[in-house]
Chains A and B, each alone.
Chain A
Amino acid sequence: MIAAGLVVAWELAVRGGLINARLLPPPTAVIDALGNLLAEPKMARNISVTLAQALLAILIACPLGLLFGIALAENRRLAQVFDPFLYFAFSVPKSIFLPMFILAFGIGFGQKVMFGVFSAIFIAVLTTEAAVNGVPQHLVRAARAFGASRTQIYTRIYVPAMLPSLIEGLRLAMIFNITGVIFAEMYASREGLGHMIAFWGEYFMLPELLAGITIAAFLSIVVNEALRWMENRVGRWRE
């Protein structure tokens, strides 16, 4: 309701001359542009390139994150040495390393996938490590008391206990992944949603720019909410 009110106010403000239409076009113009864009096959291609890059990146980042996260959780010494590195890497703007990726891999599809992986991998490792460490040991002990074998402990105890946290990690990794891919496209690319957004910004094509932002926002929110829904379903048993 509040949102609808804001949109109406926006429209009126621009039409009434309160806001310069060149700087902030009215919602009708944006919706118009949106409609036109979505009808273009070129736009569809750009969007699908972005999505494909993000998808491939997350498919690579997740198993790697799982692998390293489990390794760190299982080996305390490894964790003591590498955790601070990981936390630092996590808090540093990864964008500064994009030039390295460009120098090494150019500006094509592959490079953006790699950068997406790079953007997502740290949070993936950290959340996996936390998920493994978060499995209460007394539950493992109880399972052993009832005769669970090592394999059974992994499949029947660790997996269900970790699942909600892992999906949350996936959700967060996805956010970093998409952000990384789009940044790479905005910085230097010949295609992709990010590239188009940067292009429209450069040429002051405001309605298209706002439409592009809307598309990007919509897609990311849809993915995020879908994963959040999954996380809640799987984690019904958490208080």
Chain B
Amino acid sequence: MNPSITDAELLVEAVSHEYEMRGNSVKALDEISLAVPPRRFVGIVGPSGCGKSSLLMMMAGLIRPSQGRIVLDGVPITDPVPTKIGVVFQDASLFPWKTAQENVEFPLELQGISREKRKATAEVMLELVGLLDFGGRYPHELSGGMKQRVAIARGLGQDPRILLMDEPFAALDEQTRMTMGHELLRIWDRTHKTVVFVTHSLTEAVYLCDEVLVMSPRPGRLLDRIEIDLPRPRTYEMMATEQFGRLRDRIWRLIRTEQTAP
């Protein structure tokens, strides 16, 4: 796999990662190199523990890789770059003492943006995710799906070029997941950010993404990059097609072979 350096949004260069667990050193990632193309919806799948979330956290600047680096605009990422990279977490991580709107405004507040501008931007974002009427609600009054939508609005608030999403729908029931996936595509269609979407659901990956990066079990290596050539806009009906099934099957075989290999 040769990362095309010239027009990559994010460049992962030979990243390895170890961490300490009960006195032992565990290798989480094993020399991963990849390039994330701009304005594409990129998925990362792999078995549990393969390090895909760690990789995403490194892209977010929250963890530093033990070896290698991740480069954005020619500069290695060592700390969060909130103006260029937005993050959506698995459990939404909304601040419970803030209303939905205040949550969306929070990153802007940190940047020192004026109250009027913050309010206006937050309202635009909430409208985008379809929750404008719920801005005054507290997180404990919102359903799981609604919380994630607020989290997405918050991630997009600073108009970053890249949106990182760490299994954002994992905590939702299946029906909500399908609706949210559809919603996400609608939002992406309007904003066309670069999205890196970590998931353990192969169906979700094939349905949402332009390309899927498949990782091996721990220590995580990049096994393959699979292009999803389904037409856009994606529809539910596509999930029943043979092409869909073949793509998902391909990914599944890759992961399975690695798991059963000696």
Chain A residues with a Cβ under 8 A of chain B: 138-139, 141-148, 152, 156-157, 160-161, 163, 236-239
Contacts and interface: CB of A to CB of B under 8 A. Distances in A.
B140 A144 contact: no
Contacts of A239: 140
A102 to B, nearest CB: 45
B80 A145 contact: yes
B170 interface: no
Given A152-B110, A237-B138, A238-B140, A145 B97 contact: no
Contacts of B62: 141, 144-145
Contact of A144 (B80, B91, B109): B80
B29 to A, nearest CB: 19
B60 interface: yes
23 contacts: A138-B89, A138-B91, A141-B62, A141-B89, A141-B93, A142-B89, A143-B110, A144-B62, A145-B62, A145-B80, A145-B89, A146-B82, A146-B87, A146-B106, A146-B107, A147-B80, A147-B83, A156-B106, A157-B95, A161-B96, A161-B97, A237-B97, A238-B96
Interface residues of B, number: 24
B80 A139 contact: no
B260 interface: no
A136 B35 CA distance: 33
A139 B110 contact: no
A141 B61 CA distance: 11
Contacts of B109: 156
Identify whether the interface residues of A are mostly helix, strand, loop, or mixed. helix
Identify whether the interface residues of B are mostly helix, strand, loop, or mixed. loop
Contacts, number: 60
Interface in B61-101: 61-62, 80-83, 87, 89, 91, 93, 95-98
Contacts of A157: 95
Given A141-B62, A152-B110, A239-B140, A147 B93 contact: no
B72 to A, nearest CB: 14
B90 to A, nearest CB: 9
Interface of B: 60-62, 80-83, 87, 89, 91, 93, 95-98, 106-107, 109-111, 138-140, 154
A138 B97 CA distance: 15
Contact of B82 (A139, A147, A156): A147
B109 to A, nearest CB: 8
Nearest to A163: B97
Given A142-B95, A145-B80, A160-B97, 6 more contacts: A144-B80, A146-B106, A146-B110, A147-B80, A161-B97, A239-B140
B60 A145 contact: yes
A145 B111 CA distance: 13
B157 to A, nearest CB: 9
Chain A CB within 10 A, most for which of B93, B95, B97, B106? B97
A235 to B, nearest CB: 8
Nearest to A136: B93
Given A138-B91, A237-B97, A148 B110 contact: yes
Contacts of B81: 147
B87 A147 contact: no
Given A147-B107, A147-B110, A152-B110, A142 B140 contact: no
Nearest to B91: A138
Nearest to B164: A145
B154 to A, nearest CB: 8
Nearest to A234: B97
A148 B89 CA distance: 16
A156 B111 CA distance: 13
Closest 5 CB pairs of A and B: A147-B82, A142-B93, A146-B107, A145-B87, A237-B97
Contacts of A152: 110
A64 to B, nearest CB: 26
